[in-house]
Structure 1
Amino acid sequence: MSRTLPSDQMRLPLQTDLPEGEAGFVVSDSNRAAVEATEAWPGLIGGVMAICGPAGCGKSRLGQIWAERVGAVALNGEEAAFIDPLELEGRPVLLDRAMDADDETLFHLINLAQAPGGALLMLSRPAPSAWEVTVPDLRSRLDAVISVPMDAPDDAVLAAMLDARFAERGIRPAKDVVPYLLRRIDRSAAAAGDIVGRLDALHRPVTRALAREVLDDASDDDLG
């Protein structure tokens, strides 16, 4: 005999209309400074700015929102070396994993950001002033970059991440699941995605008891 799931634990059809861009980005104390810093920038000023914070804090997502708003060219770490800098002149640029770019590429991108229409938003974990570089002129330029911090997701942001991951998989967890997970998982997008994936793989109603079971199993795996 088949079993009907309770209404607050049922699996829903996979959703394709989840909020994207700014509509799906939760602003809280952990990211407000970075959000406000990018809202009006670059405007008429241009130049260089960095958003810095731990893995999973949402800086890449914020960078994508900024890039879409201003029409920036999006580059990623070491791959930026394969782009002809002259093709970027007069255009805003988003550089994710900026610390992985080589010194020469960084030097050219920072210089191009000073041209009319140019701007460079760099994303990294440590601030540019902490990066190891060998080119003296680059060192002085990085030390002058305005760096805005982002913190690890607080409860509001992490809850939104969990809600989104559950919705993507068509899962409606019991009401006490997300508050329970907030106190027990790492504060990152990766951790939110991992725990929801583990719960989904069991194909059972997502209750607090199941969440505790999965977290206990994960802890045992780490010890093993």
Structure 2
Amino acid sequence: MAEQLTFDLPVREALQREAFFVSPSNAIALATLDARQLWPSNKLVLTGPRGSGKTHMAHVWAMDCDAMIIGVDELAQADIPMLASLRNIVVEDADRIANVSDARATEEALFHLHNLTLAEGGHLLVTASTPPNLWKIGLPDLASRMQGTSVTKIDAPDDALLSAMLLKQFEDRQLAVSYPLIPFLVKRMERSTANLRRIVEALDAAALRLGKPISRKFAAQVLDNISLNTQDSI
């Protein structure tokens, strides 16, 4: 069969609360975010591995309390007093602070945002893959404030969460799949949320290129190809 011309169309990711699946691996973190009136000093760090749902959870919180979301790599150029005046702020991927182009300016911006937001009586939510004691922060005052911030964690995904995340990934890409495909993929795939997105992307690309539906047989072939490519790169 001749391969079809494909287009790299944008994926519309649903980030509303109703699209967020609650399971034992993330229920405590979500409940902690929902109880922001109980956060010590009105600040919280949300951690979890890449692809675990931190961004989705942060968007749910931001929608609930009309918060502004900003990436750590945007802080150095941001109007910090204006952000703090909004009272509720999310800073994403803070553990990458040492890798941004102007790390010193970014650290100073986060330090001032932290202080001004709390002085305004607002709430600061920070997301990261690792806890603050592992971040490479050069500014001592910022390091002490981040390390003194309470942490809530999204745990490794269970089968229920992996299944829900797979379904969401397919829905975000407007791909119709039969439900039996989901437990098949959960059983066969590496139990990693980062790997999950890669598998759905590969299935989507292969289905478009070959003009085939995503059946269990088709998925098994794609998973085998992914495994072979991974081994070749080792």
**Band of TM-score, shorter chain:** 0.7 to 0.9
1:153 CA displacement = 2.4
Equivalences for 1:10-159 in 2 at 5 Å?
20-42=15-37, 47-90=42-85, 91-101=87-97, 102-159=106-163
The TM-score, its normalising length taken from structure 1, stands at 0.83
Give the Cα–Cα distance (whole angstroms) in 2 for the partners of residues 136 and 170 of structure 1. Answer: 47
**Aligned alpha-carbon RMSD (Å):** 2.5
The TM-score, its normalising length taken from structure 2, stands at 0.79
- Higher mean Cα deviation, 150-159 or 196-205? 196-205
1:46–1:118 contact (8 Å) kept in structure 2: no
More helix by share: 2
Structure 2 residue corresponding to 1:165, chosen from 151, 169, 174: 169
Give the Cα–Cα distance (whole angstroms) in 2 for the partners of residues 180 and 150 of structure 1. Answer: 24
- Higher mean Cα deviation, 187-196 or 56-65? 187-196
Give the Cα–Cα distance (whole angstroms) in 1 for the partners of residues 151 and 40 of structure 2. Answer: 16
Q: Which amino acid aligns with 2:127?
A: L
Structure 1 residue 219 corresponds to structure 2 residue 227: yes
Give the Cα–Cα distance (whole angstroms) in 2 for the partners of residues 73 and 120 of structure 1. Answer: 10
- Higher mean Cα deviation, 123-132 or 101-110? 101-110
Q: Which amino acid aligns with 2:92?
A: D
- Secondary structure at the aligned position of 2:119 is classed as coil
Change (3 A) 1:171 1:114: closer
- Secondary structure at the aligned position of 2:36 is classed as coil
- Contiguous gaps of at least 5 residues in structure 2: 1-11, 98-105
- Secondary structure at the aligned position of 2:188 is classed as coil
Q: Which amino acid aligns with 1:199?
A: L
Alignment correspondent of 2:214: 206
Number of equivalent positions: 209
1:109 CA displacement = 1.7
Structure 2 residue corresponding to 1:176, chosen from 163, 176, 180: 180
- Secondary structure at the aligned position of 1:218 is classed as helix
